[in-house]
Amino acid sequence: MSTPSQPECDRLLVLEIRGQAGLHARWRELTADEHAAAVAALREVAAGRADLLAQAAGIMFGASEGQLDEPLMRQAAQLCRDAGADVALIPAWIEEGRRRRTDALRPPSGAPRRIRPGQHPPGRGG
């Protein structure tokens, strides 16, 4: 999983893999030539790192569940699988993608509370 101990170059490579997969994904089924080109590009970027292809696939899959771009991200994740992702690692990364989506949707801890009409903010009388 992406932790402070994961080398920065691995994190950057995962971002590049995710970008390449997203670049090749379409809102329709890919042609055989498009699929072959996408898989070849991902294999080149990943340089044999099946673990990083799995990380990219799992995060895209988990983070997009229930979102408008889910079909597009599923296709991008499948391209990573087809490029040689280690399928045994994908489920853990799907969970990480879900966690990241949940965290991204959570308001910042310092965000003001929403005040309903007729309700007074704390400490302001009323």
Q: Is the pTM of this model over 0.75?
A: yes
Structural domain boundaries, residue 99: 8-104
Query: At 52, is the secondary structure helix, strand, or coil?
Result: helix
Dig out the tokens for 92 from the structure. Answer: 């853990």
- Read off the pLDDT of residues 40-87 as tens digits, 9 standing for 90 and up: 999 999 999 999 999 999 999 999 999 999 999 999 999 999 999 999
In this predicted structure, the answer to whether residue 27 has a pLDDT above a threshold of 70 is yes
Band (105; pLDDT cuts 50, 70, 90): confident
**Sign of the dihedral through C-alpha 84, 59, 78, 90:** positive
DSSP assigned state of 70: H
Instruction: Note whether residue 3 is domain-resident.
Output: no
Instruction: Note whether residue 58 is domain-resident.
Output: yes
Domain count, the chain: 1
Instruction: Note whether residue 27 is domain-resident.
Output: yes
Report the share of the chain in percent with pLDDT over 90: 75
Instruction: Note whether residue 80 is domain-resident.
Output: yes
Which residues, at least 6 apart from 11, have a Cβ–Cβ distance to it below 8 Å?
2
Instruction: Note whether residue 114 is domain-resident.
Output: no
Instruction: Note whether residue 78 is domain-resident.
Output: yes
pLDDT value for 17: 98
Instruction: Note whether residue 110 is domain-resident.
Output: no
